[in-house]
A = this chain, B = another copy of it.
Amino acid sequence: MKERYAAFIQRVREKKPLVHHITNYVSVNDCANITLAISASPIMADALEEAADIARISSAVVLNMGTLNERTIPSMLAAGKAANQAGVPVVFDPVGAGASQLRNQTAARLLDEVKIGVLRGNISEIRFLAGRQSETKGVDASEDDLQNTEDAVTVAKTLAVRLHCVTAITGAVDIVSDGKVVVCIENGHPMLSNLTGTGCMCSSLIGSFCGAAPDATFEATVAALLSMSIAGEIAFEKAGHAGNGSFRMALHDAVSHMNAETLTGRAKIHEA
């Protein structure tokens, strides 16, 4: 099973897909660099006047509502719809869903008007979108929500069925479902939550992998999250003790060197 997922990284490195992002200004640089580190080509373009044009020429579109505003929300909708028409997969990262009415309404509208290919968030965000009780603390998952892995499996699967998409909940254990199968990834390192934007970077990697394999978004999503989680482990081994700055550098190093062999050798995945 591991080899099957690991093989996807070669497709990204060969195809170098163009990945259009409408994303937040906090982690946008990390998103661009992580996209380049996996050999894909990032473009960030959020003006309504060009969002649809850029989406159409891209291999994947990543919509991230980390610092959404009245100017970028219509751009996200336009890019998402254009991507749908062109058969380009759309990754949606509902940052902070549950934290404000604006975020809740925007997430609802995007899920309603755009066919999402992959939905990735933390457990609080995804629980909120699934209509469960959720106690969002800003843009990070709440402690309560983090406790219940069993519930996360159910939520991921249920939401995947309801939205006809792949759902991915990232955390200590990453959970990916296409509504039929649920895969749990036990790789990763707690230091990943000490850096801003590691969730956003996961979404960028998912976009990169889906852009290279639009026919297999479930497998592409698993492979993307494996890449990030295993890079987190390697980064910790190399530089984690030195502190957050060194860990961050080593994380980018590790993604840029990631290959199928490392993925296969280190992957700790199982079906739920």
- A67 vs chain B, min Cβ distance (A): 6
- Mask of A210-252 contacts with B, CB within 8 angstroms, 1/0: 0000000000000000000000000000000011111011111
Nearest CB to that of A258 among chain B residues?
Answer: B243
| A262 within 8 Å of B (CB atoms) | no
- Mask of A39-56 contacts with B, CB within 8 angstroms, 1/0: 001111111111001100
| A29 within 8 Å of B (CB atoms) | yes
| A195 within 8 Å of B (CB atoms) | yes
- Mask of A45-80 contacts with B, CB within 8 angstroms, 1/0: 111111001100110000000111111000000000
- A93 vs chain B, min Cβ distance (A): 15
Q: By the criterion CB–CB under 8 Å, are B138 and A18 in contact?
A: yes
Asked whether A138 and B41 contact (CB < 8 A) given A28-B26, A195-B36, A245-B250, the answer is yes
| A37 within 8 Å of B (CB atoms) | yes
Q: By the criterion CB–CB under 8 Å, are A69 and B67 in contact?
A: no
The listed residue (B26, B29, B249, B252) touching A197 by CB distance below 8 A is B29
Q: By the criterion CB–CB under 8 Å, are A44 and B29 in contact?
A: no
Q: By the criterion CB–CB under 8 Å, are A137 and B256 in contact?
A: no
| A96 within 8 Å of B (CB atoms) | yes
Enumerate chain B residues within 8 angstroms of A251, measured Cβ to Cβ: 245
Q: By the criterion CB–CB under 8 Å, are A101 and B69 in contact?
A: no
Q: How many copies does the complex hold?
A: 3
- A73 vs chain B, min Cβ distance (A): 9
For A99, A197, A249, the residue with the greatest tally of chain B CB atoms inside 10 Å of its CB is: A249
Asked whether A249 and B254 contact (CB < 8 A) given A45-B100, A197-B29, the answer is no
Enumerate chain B residues within 8 angstroms of A44, measured Cβ to Cβ: 24-26, 66-67
Top 3 A-B pairs ranked by shortest CB distance?
A243-B253, A245-B252, A32-B196
- Which residues of A are at the interface with B, using a C-beta cutoff of 8 A? 18, 20, 24-30, 32-33, 36-37, 41-50, 53-54, 57-58, 66-71, 96, 99-103, 137-140, 194-197, 242-246, 248-257
